[in-house]
């Protein structure tokens, strides 16, 4: 049987760009984007800062809401997402 890339088990392949390096992973479309961000940070060795201190942007530079489910974005296999530390990360932002 032919393999249907990205469609089995509600998965989509996302490519996170972190510090200029690509980290590809299969993400569950029913989970919030933050779950994939946490996995990408762990796999890239960037676990010194919590995922909440990172921003996710698409290829157009649009800041994405990490608490939304991945399926809400309509990502296709191979979608590139850019992770960077938020400006001022490291301080308390609780209001």
Quick: pLDDT tens for 47-85.
889 999 999 999 999 999 999 999 999 999 999 999 999
pTM for the whole thing? 0.82
93 lies in a domain?
A: no
95 lies in a domain?
A: no
> In which domain, by residue range, is 50 found?
8-85
Report d(CA 19, CA 84) in Å as an integer: 7
69 lies in a domain?
A: yes
78 lies in a domain?
A: yes
Domain count, the chain: 1
How many C-beta neighbours within 10 Å does residue 26 have? 15
66 lies in a domain?
A: yes
20 lies in a domain?
A: yes
Which CATH number covers residue 50? Answer: 3.10.20.90
57 lies in a domain?
A: yes
45 lies in a domain?
A: yes
What Cα–Cα distance (Å) separates residue 70 from each residue in 81, 86, 88? 12, 21, 26
Quick: pLDDT tens for 16-41.
999 999 999 999 999 999 999 999 99
């Amino acid at each position: 049987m032919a393999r249907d890339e990205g469609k089995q088990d509600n998965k989509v392949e996302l490519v996170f760009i972190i510090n200029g390096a690509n980290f590809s992973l299969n993400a569950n479309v029913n989970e919030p984007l933050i779950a994939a961000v946490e996995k990408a940070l762990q796999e890239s060795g960037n676990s010194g800062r919590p995922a909440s201190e990172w921003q996710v942007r698409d290829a157009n530079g649009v800041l994405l809401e990490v608490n939304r489910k991945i399926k809400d974005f309509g990502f296709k296999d191979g979608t590139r997402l850019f992770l960077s530390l938020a400006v001022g990360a490291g301080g308390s932002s609780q209001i």
